[in-house]
Amino acid sequence: MAWKQRRGIFIPTSDIPEPGVYTFVTNTTETEEYANSLRWAHDLGRPGQKLTSFAPLKDWDPILDQVLQLLPGISAYPLQVTAWMANPTRDNALAFVGDAAHPTGGAYGSGCSFAFADVQALYLSLQRTYGYNADDDYSKPLYNVPYALHLYKETRMPFLKRVESQLGNDKLDAAYVATASNEKEWIRRWKKKFTINWWILEHDVDAKWQEVEAEERHTWHRKNKEDGDMTDVFGY
């Protein structure tokens, strides 16, 4: 179930796996001073119903105000959006995966899928280099970690940087749409500017990794030759 206000703002409610229990979520606008006082996982309790941004909800549907009055408490937190990492790897180590590496602030609802794709790319990369030092000397590493991280970076970073740039583009479009003088003009601008970003939602990390690996197994080897290192990426 969802209520829709003019200008495309949604307040969704949905049931969760517990009979008679529902979620109620909305994005609201508060003053910077108040937003800075909010913290993750900090329940505001019943005073949370007094959030100034809830006042206009009474005009949406009478039941919304009833829901707000019955809630035992409200948790509120600012959506955090910050610069993404330019390079997730350093000193043969992976710094972060998932939301920690690309904090979208809930953009596109894709945080979980991004995290899964990160892990999948890392798994494929490590698996590809397994047996790098496959011999009787078990003191040597079985994986070519530098090469695996190189595959990971080349698989994920172009896509993630493109998504990051799209966030900036969407902010520009949103600012343009928001200045519409009336409802009809707002709808016209919204239809003109916004589409579903299927290229984000349906990104195939397995196919992208295969594309990268098919090239990097050769380019990495040639680079090693140029640097005077004749060792293949797989050691055989």
Half-sphere exposure of 4 (CA within 13 A, CB side): 4
Amino acid at 216: E
Question: How confident is the prediction along the chain (236 residues), in pLDDT tens digits per residue?
Answer: 555 555 555 566 655 666 666 666 676 667 778 777 777 666 666 555 556 556 666 667 777 777 777 777 777 776 666 677 788 888 888 877 766 677 665 566 676 788 889 999 999 999 998 876 656 666 667 788 889 999 999 999 999 889 888 888 888 888 898 888 988 898 899 889 887 888 888 899 999 999 999 999 888 766 665 555 545 555 43
pLDDT in tens, 6-15: 555 556 665 5
Spatial separation of the C-alpha atoms in residues 74 and 68, rounded to whole Å: 9
Instruction: Say which residue the tokens 């996982």 belong to.
Output: 41
Distances (CA, A) of 37 to 40, 185, 195: 10, 36, 34
CA-to-CA dists, residue 167 to 30, 105, 162, angstroms: 21, 10, 9
Are 145 and 92 in contact by the 8 Å Cβ rule? The answer is yes
pTM for this model (two decimals): 0.70
Contact 149, 89 (CB under 8 A): yes
Pairing of strands 93-94, 10-15: unpaired
pLDDT in tens, 85-114: 788 888 888 877 766 677 665 566 676 788
In three-state secondary structure terms, 105 is: coil
Query: What are the residues facing 219 on neighbouring strands?
Result: none
**Is residue 64 within 8 Å of residue 11, measured between CB atoms?**
yes
CB atoms within 10 A of CB 119: 13
